[in-house]
Amino acid sequence: MAKTMTAATAHAFGKPLRSALKTLCKQILTLCAGLAIAIIGTPPCRAIDYQPFDFVPATPGTIILMGYYEYGTRNELNNTITGTAKNHTGLQSQIGIFRPLYYNQVLDHPYLLEFLLPFGVEYNGKINGFRLDDASGVSDPILSGTFWPLSRPDLKSWISISDWLSVPIGTYNKDRALNLGANRWQNDVQLDITQGVGEKFTFDVAADWIYYGNNPNAGTGHQTLSQDDTYNVYTWISYDISDVVRHAIPSLGNGTISVGYAGTFGGFQRLDGVVTGSQTHEQQIRFTYQQFVAPTWQLNLSLNHDVSVSGQFKQNFGLLFRVAKIF
């Protein structure tokens, strides 16, 4: 009888204890997976992500200076092992980008040389109530070159090939969860097709392949973070509203509105060979308005929202504002 009561008591206390331990383990795994995401940098620094008409070449000899402001807010984190954390989970960011561009041509084919320098802050980071330290500073600068094997303005047809190299000299501290720098080399090869249809419509379609080097100072600061290749697809459908805006404000130049989609796939991460549950899988919708407010000044306002993600933070609202000056 005593044994029966002891077993029953152990069972009664054991069940909630196992449940509590299971919950604790899940929280710890979620935190560790979230830190693995944070270590390599988060979506705010996706400086390669392009806007409509970015791959229509300018006149040879043209210099363009661009300045970006990006704001993003995220309210949940998915991990492929532990699931989705929604309660007391989020991350905000404010990112600026300085981007000079130089256009010219070789053998009658246009090319573009450019440089991107992202900088800013990530803050209010938390996962299931666990606070992440804020991060600020400079992200990894990007060197890029684009070549157009096909450029037919008369047919409104352009095909371009780009390469983007991220140099690992951005702000990085192995003892911090959030970092703007990734502490690793990264290379992105992109193919873009831009085609005008009729008088008003333009279609942009792009695909790219991203290769990641290893980060040897991840996790505890003495672990190696590796990542599978990432594949991206982008589409934009743009409509010319120049007649409408000029009717309202005659002094304005060309204007367009665009709707778009971005899909990111692959990118599974491993810490010392062990899968972390983090990856780069994202489905996003976008809306952009571009307007020339003067012959050499263009403004760009873009809004975006993640429809679904896997293995990363989900951005419920994103804003991009860009100013371009043409010389």
- Give kind and range of the element (H or E) at residue 98: strand 90-106
What are 148-207's pLDDT values in tens digits? 999 999 999 999 999 999 999 999 998 888 999 999 999 999 999 999 999 999 999 999
Confidence at residue 64, expressed as pLDDT on a 0 to 100 scale: 98
> How much is the mean pLDDT over the chain?
89
Tell me the C-alpha distance between 231 and 189, whole Å: 10
Whether pLDDT at 233 is above 80:
yes
Q: What local confidence, expressed as pLDDT, does residue 108 receive?
A: 94
CATH of the domain at 10: 2.40.128.130
> How many Cα atoms sit within 13 Å of 174 on the Cβ side?
13
| Tokens standing for residue 57 | 């070449």
Question: 176 or 136: whose pLDDT is higher?
Answer: 136
Q: Are 295 and 325 in contact (CB under 8 A)?
A: no
Phi, psi dihedrals of residue 21, rounded to the nearest 5°: -65, -40
Q: What is the pTM of this model?
A: 0.86
219: pLDDT confidence band, cut at 50, 70 and 90?
Answer: confident
Domain range enclosing 14: 2-326
Reduce the DSSP state of residue 5 to 3 states and report it. helix
**What total of structural domains would you count in the chain?**
1
Q: 142 — phi, psi (to 5°)?
A: -125, 130
pLDDT tens-digit readout, 28-49 = 554 554 454 544 444 434 547 7
Q: Distance of alpha carbon 20 from its chain centroid, rounded? A: 36
pLDDT tens-digit readout, 244-272: 999 999 999 999 999 999 999 999 999 99
